[in-house]
Amino acid sequence: MKGFQKLAKRTIRQTLLMMLFLFISGILTYVLIFGYYFYVQFSRHTPSEILRTVSKGLYHNNDSIQLDSTGIRILDESDTWAILVDNNNGNVIWSHALPDNIPTHYTLSEIALSSKNYLKGYPTFIWTHDDGLIMIGMPKERYTPLRGYLPASLIRDMPWLTLSSYIIQLITLLLVFYFFERRTFRSMRPILKGLQDVADGKDLHVKEKGTFSEIAAYLNRTSALLKKRATVRENWLAGVSHDIRTPLASILGYSGQIETDKSLPEDVIQKATIIRNQAVRLRELISDLNLSSRLEHDDRLIQREIFGIAPFCRKIIAEFLNDYADENYPIHIEINKSVQTTQINGSPNLLKRSIYNLLLNSIRHNPTGCTITFRLERTDHQCKISITDDGIGLQNTLLEKLKKIQGKEADSTLLSGQEHGLGLYIVCQIIKMHSGNITFSTNTPSGFQTSIYLPIL
pLDDT digits (tens, 9 = 90+) for 266-321: 888 888 888 877 787 777 777 766 676 666 655 555 678 899 999 999 998 998 88
- 67 in helix, strand or coil? strand
Cα–Cα distances in angstroms (integers) from residue 89 to residues 66, 107, 108, 130, 437, in the given order:
20, 8, 10, 15, 109
Do residues 447 and 441 lie in contact, with contact meaning Cβ atoms separated by under 8 Å? no
Instruction: Please state, in angstroms and rounded to a whole number, the distance separating the CA atoms of residues 182 and 176.
Output: 10
Question: Residue 145: what pLDDT?
Answer: 63
Find the mean pLDDT for residues 77-106. Answer: 89
Rg (alpha carbons) of the chain, rounded to whole number: 48
Question: Residue 417: what pLDDT?
Answer: 42
Cβ-proximal residues to 361 (8 Å cutoff; 6+ apart), any chain: 420, 423, 424, 448
Question: Residue 42: what pLDDT?
Answer: 60
The burial class, CB within 10 Å (0-12 / 13-18 / 19+), for 378 is middle
pLDDT digits over 98-154, tens only?
998 888 888 877 777 666 667 888 888 888 888 889 999 988 877 776 655 667 776
Question: Residue 418: what pLDDT?
Answer: 45
Q: Taking the complete model, does pTM exceed 0.75, yes or no?
A: no
Cα–Cα distances in angstroms (integers) from residue 20 to residues 34, 63, 440, in the given order:
21, 69, 50
Instruction: Please state, in angstroms and rounded to a whole number, the distance separating the CA atoms of residues 57 and 50.
Output: 10
- 137 in helix, strand or coil? strand
Instruction: Please state, in angstroms and rounded to a whole number, the distance separating the CA atoms of residues 375 and 334.
Output: 5
Do residues 159 and 68 lie in contact, with contact meaning Cβ atoms separated by under 8 Å? no
pLDDT digits over 407-454, tens only?
544 454 444 444 445 677 778 888 888 888 888 888 777 788 889 999
The three-state (H, E, C) secondary structure of 420-452, written as one string: CHHHHHHHHHHHHHCCCEEEEEECCCCCEEEEE
Closest alpha carbon to 429 in 362, 376, 350, 369? 350
Q: How many CB atoms lie within 10 A of CB 386?
A: 19
Closest alpha carbon to 401 in 440, 362, 448? 440
Q: What are phi and psi of 108, to 5 degrees?
A: -60, -40
In the predicted structure, residue 353 carries a pLDDT above the cut 70: yes
Q: For the chain, what's the residue count?
A: 457
331-335 vs 372-379, strand pairing mode: parallel
Q: Which helix (H) or strand (E) holds 231?
A: helix 213-260
pLDDT digits over 231-256, tens only?
777 777 667 776 777 787 888 788 88
Cβ-proximal residues to 287 (8 Å cutoff; 6+ apart), any chain: none
Find the mean pLDDT for residues 178-192. Answer: 73
In the predicted structure, residue 404 carries a pLDDT above the cut 80: no
pLDDT digits over 18-44, tens only?
777 777 777 777 777 777 766 666 656
Cα–Cα distances in angstroms (integers) from residue 47 to residues 139, 213, 444, in the given order:
11, 68, 95
